[in-house]
Amino acid sequence: MKHDQSRLVRIDAGPMKNPVPGKPKRPISGDAAFRTVTAFEGNGGRAEAGVWESTAGSFQSNTTGYIEFGYIVEGAARLVDPDGTVHELTVGEAFVMPEGYTGRWEVDQFVKKIYFISRTA
């Protein structure tokens, strides 16, 4: 995906157009299904932004090799740190998963976020 570096890239958080389906790589429980639309790739593939959503389920996160910023635009989820600290994430909340974060996602019904990833490796 090549972008004109002189033009602003807008991310549409509305209904997804041509989403890419996916499943958790590290499922814990439930049958979560993902849909992703990448709106931007840059810096030789080291930066990426778009919209991601998930149905109900629990799955392990592992951000080895990248840092991710997220902003919840619909639904809700919990991110649970490896030490058990629970972070309730609802519409309008922003968060950062540092490089190497291995918490888990818990989605009761549905969650949708805008994301930005910066690859470190």
Return the CATH number at 106: 2.60.120.10
pLDDT digits (tens, 9 = 90+) for 52-97: 999 999 999 999 999 999 999 999 999 999 999 999 999 999 999 9
In a domain, 15, yes or no: no
Residues 6 or more apart whose Cβ sits within 8 Å of residue 55: 31, 32, 33, 107, 109, 110
| pTM confidence score | 0.94
Q: Given this model, what pLDDT does residue 121 score?
A: 80
What is the total count of domains within the chain? 1
| Tokens 């890239």 sit on residue | 9
Q: Given this model, what pLDDT does residue 115 score?
A: 98
Q: Report the DSSP beta bridge partners of residue 66.
A: 119
Distance separating alpha carbons of residues 65 and 4, to the nearest angstrom = 26
In a domain, 2, yes or no: no
Q: Does the pLDDT value for residue 3 go beyond 90?
A: no
By residue range, what is the domain housing residue 78?
28-119
